[in-house]
Amino acid sequence: MFWVDPPIARQDGRPIGALSSQLIEGTTWQRWSRHRTAANPWRPGIDCIETQTAFVDLELTKELSK
């Protein structure tokens, strides 16, 4: 999962799946539910903040380029 502020939207105006809003310390964040799968699991000893950031970037690119 990751959170963004301000909220973002697809270029075609269609809704983004698996979104919700979450209030954190007075700010409403757009919460993206994206999880690793059996095809793309977390790899202990290999994955780190850098690979997780790349995962988030990939998910944003896939969704927002639609």
Instruction: Look at residue 63 in the predicted model and tell me its pLDDT.
Output: 87
Q: Tokens 């999962």, residue?
A: 1
Instruction: Look at residue 47 in the predicted model and tell me its pLDDT.
Output: 97
Determine if the peptide bond prior to 6 is cis (ω within 30°).
yes
Q: Is residue 66 over pLDDT 80?
A: no
Across 29-41, average pLDDT? 92
Residue 29: helix, strand or coil by DSSP?
strand
Q: Is residue 64 over pLDDT 90?
A: no
Q: Is residue 49 over pLDDT 90?
A: yes
Q: State the average pLDDT for the chain.
A: 92
* pTM beyond cutoff 0.85: no
For the chain, give percent helix, strand, coil, nearest 5. 25, 25, 55
